[in-house]
């Protein structure tokens, strides 16, 4: 019975990793679509967003089965309940990557003023998600904590872009679209922080305040 239960936990862990990889690829594709003005790739991100939502539903079902049918002990219960929270944040990452792609599919983005800073934001959020998932895979407490601290870098990049866009002479519609892309990347960073915080909870059994 315990072996069957352990196999289910392993399947859950594997599904989380697969979903995380899909999210990471989705952000990478938004970044490449932004740099190359590749609308075909932006359209692919929209499809990936739908796939991520389906993965969220599938994993939620696995978690509910474990909670309702197996009645896990305290340590395992933390892992499963953390997984339920993590997939919610990953699904939001997929949605926000899709929101970026939707903007890139318009012909009213510009990007001459902010392409490089936005690329930097994309790189940092990709790294944050990668680190949060690595922390999950390896039960790496220090990497999870470092991911939480990394959010300050993304927040500063957002503020830099906000300041830059306020001083350049571009149509207001393009200014808004570029600002929204930056905001979506910032939110992706926030969701990566949430994932890292749930990794910390699953390891320690409590949340931490990290400065």
**What is the CATH number for 116?**
1.20.58.220
In-domain check, residue 211: no
- Cα separations in angstroms, 107 against 78, 164, 186: 46, 21, 23
DSSP code for 37: T
Q: Are 39 and 110 in contact (CB under 8 A)?
A: no
In-domain check, residue 20: yes
In-domain check, residue 90: yes
Whole-structure pTM value: 0.93
Number of folded domains that form the chain: 1
Model confidence at 1: pLDDT above 60 = no
- Cα separations in angstroms, 103 against 21, 119, 182: 23, 15, 11
Which two three-digit tokens encode residue 29? 């594709």
In-domain check, residue 125: yes
Q: What is the mean pLDDT of residues 18-40?
A: 95
> What are the φ and ψ backbone dihedral angles of 184, each rounded to 5 degrees?
-65, -40
- The residue among 113 and 100 whose pLDDT is bigger is 100
Q: Are 98 and 105 in contact (CB under 8 A)?
A: no
Q: What is the mean pLDDT of residues 21-36?
A: 95
Q: Are 68 and 8 in contact (CB under 8 A)?
A: no
In-domain check, residue 49: yes
| pLDDT, tens digit, 9 for 90 and up, residues 40-88 | 999 999 999 999 999 999 999 999 988 887 777 767 888 899 999 999 9
In a 3-state reduction of DSSP, which class is residue 106? coil
The model's confidence at residue 120, banded by pLDDT at 50, 70 and 90, is very high
In-domain check, residue 210: no
Question: What gap in Å lies between CA 94 and CA 18, rounded to an integer?
Answer: 13
Residue whose pair of structure tokens reads 């979903």 in the numeric block = 19
The model's confidence at residue 197, banded by pLDDT at 50, 70 and 90, is very high
Model confidence at 157: pLDDT above 80 = yes
Model confidence at 110: pLDDT above 70 = yes
pLDDT, residue 115, reads: 84
Q: What is the mean pLDDT of residues 155-165?
A: 95
Q: Are 85 and 193 in contact (CB under 8 A)?
A: no
Q: Which helix (H) or strand (E) holds 83?
A: helix 74-104
In-domain check, residue 77: yes
In-domain check, residue 80: yes
> For residue 25, what are the domain limits?
2-204
């Amino acid at each position: 019975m315990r072996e069957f239960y352990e196999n289910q936990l392993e399947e859950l862990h594997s599904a989380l990793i697969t979903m995380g990889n899909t999210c990471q690829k989705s952000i990478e594709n938004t970044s490449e679509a932004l740099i190359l003005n590749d609308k075909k790739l932006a359209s692919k991100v929209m499809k990936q967003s739908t796939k991520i939502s389906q993965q969220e539903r599938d994993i939620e079902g696995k978690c509910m089965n474990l909670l309702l049918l197996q009645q896990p002990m305290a340590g395992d219960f933390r892992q499963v309940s953390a997984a339920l929270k993590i997939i919610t944040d990953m699904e939001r990452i997929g949605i926000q990557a899709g929101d970026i792609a939707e903007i890139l599919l318009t012909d009213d983005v510009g990007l001459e003023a902010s392409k490089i800073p936005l690329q930097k934001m994309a790189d940092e959020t990709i790294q944050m998600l990668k680190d949060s998932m690595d922390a999950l895979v390896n039960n790496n407490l220090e990497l999870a904590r470092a991911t939480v601290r990394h959010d300050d870098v993304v927040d500063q990049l957002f503020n830099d872009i906000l300041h830059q866009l306020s001083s350049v002479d571009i149509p207001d519609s393009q200014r808004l679209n570029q600002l929204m892309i930056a905001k979506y990347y910032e939110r992706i960073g926030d969701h990566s922080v949430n994932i890292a915080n749930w990794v910390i909870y699953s390891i320690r059994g409590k949340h931490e305040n990290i400065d």
